[in-house]
Every structure is written in structure tokens, then in C-alpha cells.
Amino acid sequence: MSRVWLRWMPAVVVPAVIAVAVVAVPLQAGAVVDLPDKTAAEVLALVSDSTVSSFSGTIEQTSNLGLPDLGSALSGMSTGSSDSGTDAAASAATTALELLTGSHTARVFADGPGNLRVQVIDRLDERNLIVNGDEVWFYDSDSNEATHLSIPAGTEADARAQLEEAKTKAAAELGEMPTPAELADTLLADLDSSTEVTVGTDTAIAGRDAYELRLTPRTDETLVASASIFVDSETGMPLSVNVRAQGQQDPAFQVAFTEVSFTAPDAALFTFTPPAGATVTEQALPDHDGTSDHDFGEKPAGDLPVTVTGEGWAAVAELPAGTVDAEVTASPLFTQVTTAITGGYLFSTSLLNVLVTDDGRVLAGSVPVESLQAAAAE
Amino acid sequence: MSSSNPITEVSPADAPERGAAGAAFGWALLASELVVLFRRRRTIAMLLALALIPILIAVAVRLSSNEVSAGQGPPFLDRITQNGLFVGITALVVAIPLFLPLTIGVAAGDTIAGEAGLGTLRYLLVAPAGRVRLLLVKFAGAAAFCLVATLTVVITGAIIGAILFPIGPVTLLSGDTISVADSVGRSLLIALYVTVSLLGLSAIGLFISTLTTVPVGAMAATIVVAVTAQILDALPQLAWLHPWLFSHYWLGFADILRQPILWDSFSDNALLQGGYILVFGALAYGRFATKDILS
């Protein structure tokens, strides 16, 4: 009997060992890190003094915004129409929505301010953004299309601004995800008394020790519970950013390096020649209007007549009547992502609520629905 | 309790007979297994069927008058007309979900059950082979079949592509272009990746094969397992399960077509398949070593 038992031993032991390894390895990776204590101000200084410009790494972005997975509906939309003028708007909307659902992986290579390559990894495809000095390329392997933007010679500051603009446009077109550093910049840009800044627990991110800078809104009138920026203790580069929503266990939005290296990447990565057979589009630099109206209230652009009521985290942005016409509200995608409530349609996520009123006004904010309705009634 | 009986201390797997002579015998057994496997008409027929996939794809694309536009049909299909080297890769994408698991299921399901069904299993064990060694040899045979099956698709694809379409530098998913020599290296890496991907299924097939003496049953069960895993992998509600399914990384070979190569899925896949081999290898050992061999 025991002989039989002995021979079945491996069949019991092997799965057990694997199970232990599966549990133990991630625990070890997230082992307690103890860094010398720093005040919030010191960590903030660490971030602002950071001089990292050459790095490569893999970024993973996960959204947990309580939205249904729209993957199939979106792909159906993007392949359905291909030649109409409104297609660009539709595709911008779908990429924005795509970023809000599920998780994505991208590789980022950067060398100095002028060289950048972002590769958004899709299952059997890839979207690329290559910035090399004053040349910007996008390449989408699915459609085999390349788009080229070149920045005209000008003053240095001018070129830089245009480069930024080109990058933003590229990001919108690619559905590219922000890096932790970019997000951290946005979060830290308008830091004021409405936010409490504390240093959280030291954590290991992508194998590096990091300080946690936790931003907590001082008001209850917002959906945001807290935002955390994990700062590399050596270089000061933000390695991970997550935003937590009220009453939700998992971070609602997270962008984090899973792998990072601070050595300069291969220079060949920043040169791009469109492959033979690809459709190449030369594009002029975007003009100042009409590029941001597909965003879901994320950035109230200066050129739109935005009224902001409320302060800090509880701010509500309002676009005037007629912003959204009936054609949009009747579209299948719109009805799929919104719910009808009194006074209009609500697009709700755990971090952001957008209310499209019956008269075509758009109100958006990281606030509860009631606040939006109250603001709409005013 | 067990120490009172000296026999329990020595399992058939144990060292004493594993001398130089034993090892030589193991290699001889493996060689004869491979010869039997690849001389079998069934194996040759399966390889021919696999070779037909790239040929069909290439001929269909060549004969069709309308241009395949980007994003239509299986991935990489539109690239074929520009570069024949993509035929093998397109064929792999087509073959991975069904045709390759089908042939692997037949090869792996047949390993032990086939011998039992033919009544040759006990003769194999009368020779001082040892059950463990026989299992290892059978698994090696199934693994060899995985490699040959994958290479058949890739190489036939490259040949038919070279005959029917122009051959030139290859465009990667990242938009970079690599030379023909480089692309041959990458194709072989892809073949290696797919071979490794199929090892987990082979181990499952080997285990199922020890459960029965009816080879057809083992083959069918293995194929059903492969299909079921892919269905589970397609259900978003089971997202937590997906990284544990042996079929999860099957299409991850596309990562080799990125610039620079993304090795993450290669290593994740190897680790996962290794786990499946260990678990189902141990199960197969438990079953096979305790089984009464009656045929």
C-alpha cells in the first residue's frame, strides 16, 4: 500500500511546491522596503530635482473604473466605417475609451529630451510613436499606416512647444498611455492647500525602492479617495502612479513600470523609416482648435468656453449648450456607455462623472452625480 | 512502516541500474521510439496535412485577384503579397488554435495507450527499461513531434512563399525592417516558441494516455482539453484563470516580431509550460508506476 502511496508522492508534492512558489515569489518582490525617512517636502524636491532623461522600461496601465468592457463594441465601430470624415473623431473617442477599460502594456525608450519611442503592445499588433529630434512618426501595424509630422525650424522654445503639441496629438491618435512621470507632473502641477501631501509606505516598484507620496483631497465632495506617486529613491523619477476612488478596494487607475533601466537605449530605436508597403501620411502640425473636443472632460482646454464652478478636487467643468448635438446622443456607442437620468445622460466611472444635459450642455467632474445635477440646475 | 520492507525503498526509477549501460539503453530506446514515430504513416499524414496549410494560404492569396487590405483576415495575411516570408507566420497563426493541438493530441495521446492497445507495452517493460525511462522516452518523442510539426509549417511556408512571392527585408510589428537572414533567425525562434508552447499539452496527453488502453480515447480527450482551455481563455469573466491556462501564451509568439524582441512572454510561457510538464509528468508517473500492466 505504502509503495503505491510513494509513487503518487510526486503528483502531490510538485503541485504543492508550485503553489508555494506562486504565493511566495510575488510576496518576496513586494517585500518590506525601509528607506531613510523623508518629509513630504523632501520627496517633492527629489521629484523636481530629478534629471533622468535616459531610460527604458515596460509600463503597465490598468483601469478599474467600473466600466463595462467595450472592446468588442469598439472594434466593431472602428472597422465598420473607414472613409468618412467623422471617422477620425470616432476613432479618437474609441481610443480614449479603450484606455479607460482593461489593461495595457507599453514599452518606453527615452534618451535625452529629443528622443522618445513608445510601443503600445497589442496581442498580435503594435502601435508605435517615435520622436527623433524634430521628426515625429506614428506607426500602426494593424492598419500598416505610418503618419509623419515634422517640426519646422524655428526658435528653440518654439520648437519645444510644437514638439510637445505633436506628442499630445500623437498620444490622442495612438491611444497611447501616459508614463508615470507625465501623470505625476499633472498631479503635482497644481498642488495647493486643497490637498494633503503625506509620505506613505516605502515600496519596491520594478525592483527599485520607492517612496510613496500620497495626495489626499481635504474635501469629501469628490470621488477621488487618494492618489499615490511612487518615487524612485535614487533618481527621483516617478515609477508608479495610482488613483483610488471612494469606496473601491483596487486602484481605479494605475500606471506603473514593471521593468525599468536607466541606461541609454540603443540609438537605432529612434530612427524610423516607414516600411515598404505602408501607407504614409504627411501631416501638418495641428492647429489650435478642434483637437480636444473628443476628450471626456479630462482637460478643459483653454480655447473652449469652459466655466468652472467649485474648487480643487470638487471642481465641475461646464461646456455651454449645443456642445453635444442630438446626432451624438443618438449614436449607439453613446447610448451604450451612458445611462439616462433626470435632466440628461450620465457617463459614470468611479473617478469621473460626465453629465450631458438634455439641452446639450456637458458637465464633468470628479464629483458625485448629485453635485453635477445641482450645478446643472443653477 | 515502510522501512520494514526493503523493496519499498527502491523504486524502479532508482539509481542502481542507471549506469552507463542503462543510459546507453535509454538513448537506444529513444532512437527506436523516434524511428517508429516518424515512420508511422499516421505521423507522416499529419505532417503532410500541416504542410498543406501554408501551401493553401499562399496559393489562395496568389490566385485571388483582389488585394488583401491591411487588418483583414488572419494577422499578417496582407503582408504576404509583399513578402513571402510571412506565409509561414500566417500559417502558424491559423494552425495554432486547432490543427497543431489536433496533431499533438494524436501524437501524445498515443504514447502509452497506443502501446497498451497494441499489446506491446508489457514487452517494452520486460526489457530492463523501467517505467520512468519509458515515460521520459515517450515524452521526448511527443516533444520531438511538436518541434517537427512546427518546423514543417514554418519551413513549408518559407519555401512556398519564396516560390510564389517576392522575398525581401521583413517589416516587424514595430515598423522596423530587418534583413532576410535576420528574419530566418526570428522564424526559427518563433518555431522554438511554438514548440515550447505545445509541451504542456504534450504532458497532459501523456498523462491521459496512461489512464486508458484505448488510444483513440486518449487522443480525443487531449484534443478536448486543448479546445476547452481556449474557450476558457476567451471568457472575460474568467480573467483570473487566464494566466494559468496552458494555451494562454500560444499566440504570444508575435512578441518575437517586435523590435527589440520582447522576451517576457517567452519566459512566462516557458515557466508555465514547465509547470504543466512537472505536474502532469508527476501525475503520469504516479499513474503509470502503480498501474498493473495487463497488455
Q: How confident is the model at residue B13 (pLDDT cuts 50, 70, 90)?
A: very low
Q: What are A374's three cell numbers?
A: 445641482
Lowest mean pLDDT segment, chosen from A200-214, A336-350, B41-55, B233-247: A336-350
* pLDDT score of A288: 42
Q: What residue segments make up the domains of chain B, in order of their start? A: 21-290
Q: For residue range B160-211, what is the model confidence (pLDDT) as tens digits?
A: 999 999 888 888 888 888 888 898 999 999 999 999 999 999 999 999 999 9
B71 and A79 within 8 Å at the Cβ level: the answer is yes
B228 lies within 8 A of chain A by CB: no
Is the Cβ–Cβ distance between A217 and A195 less than 8 Å? yes
* pLDDT score of A29: 65
B173 lies within 8 A of chain A by CB: yes
* pLDDT score of B256: 92
Residue A143 CA to residue A127 CA, distance in Å, equals: 10
B174 and A128 within 8 Å at the Cβ level: the answer is yes
Residue A376 CA to residue A358 CA, distance in Å, equals: 11
Q: Which one is predicted more confidently, A95 or A136?
A: A136
Distance (Å) from the alpha carbon of B117 to chain A's nearest alpha carbon: 24
B175 and A272 within 8 Å at the Cβ level: the answer is yes
A274 lies within 8 A of chain B by CB: yes
Mutate which of A141, A143, A263 to test chain B, going by most B C-beta atoms within 10 A? A141
A121 and B70 within 8 Å at the Cβ level: the answer is no
Lowest mean pLDDT segment, chosen from A171-175, A257-261, A348-352: A171-175
**Strand partners for A126:** A121
Q: What is the CA radius of gyration of chain B?
A: 21
Share of chain A above pLDDT 90, in %: 11
B286 and A273 within 8 Å at the Cβ level: the answer is no
A64 lies within 8 A of chain B by CB: no
* Closest to A29 measured CA to CA, from A272, A256, A334: A256
Does ipTM exceed 0.90? no
* Closest to A69 measured CA to CA, from A37, A103, A39: A103
**Alpha-carbon A92 to chain mean position:** 14
Residues 6+ apart with CB under 8 A from B266: B193, B252, B255, B256
Mutate which of B173, B204, B269, B280 to test chain A, going by most A C-beta atoms within 10 A? B173
Question: Is it true that domain A50-182+265-283 has CATH number 2.50.20?
Answer: yes
Among chain B residues, the shortest Cα distance to A108 is held by: B260
Q: For residue range A315-336, what is the model confidence (pLDDT) as tens digits?
A: 888 888 777 767 777 777 777 7
* Closest to A243 measured CA to CA, from A113, A349, A142, A369: A349
A126 lies within 8 A of chain B by CB: yes
Is the Cβ–Cβ distance between A141 and B173 less than 8 Å? yes
Among chain B residues, the shortest Cα distance to A265 is held by: B260
Of A126, A141, A276, the CB nearest to B82: A276
Q: Is the bond preceding residue B260 a cis peptide, omega within 30 degrees?
A: yes
Among chain A residues, the shortest Cα distance to B262 is held by: A107
Q: What is the DSSP letter of A269?
A: G
Residue A135 CA to residue A148 CA, distance in Å, equals: 7
Question: Is residue B156 pLDDT above 90, yes or no?
Answer: yes
Question: Is residue A191 pLDDT above 60, yes or no?
Answer: yes
Of A69, A124, A126, the CB nearest to B174: A126
B251 lies within 8 A of chain A by CB: yes
Q: For residue range A71-117, what is the model confidence (pLDDT) as tens digits?
A: 444 444 444 333 444 455 555 566 666 666 778 889 999 988 788 89
- pLDDT, mean of residues B86-113: 93
* pLDDT score of B24: 74
A136 φ, ψ to 5°? -125, 130
Q: What is the DSSP letter of A284?
A: P
Is the Cβ–Cβ distance between B149 and B243 less than 8 Å? no
- pLDDT, mean of residues A52-66: 87
Distance (Å) from the alpha carbon of B13 to chain A's nearest alpha carbon: 10
A18 and B176 within 8 Å at the Cβ level: the answer is no
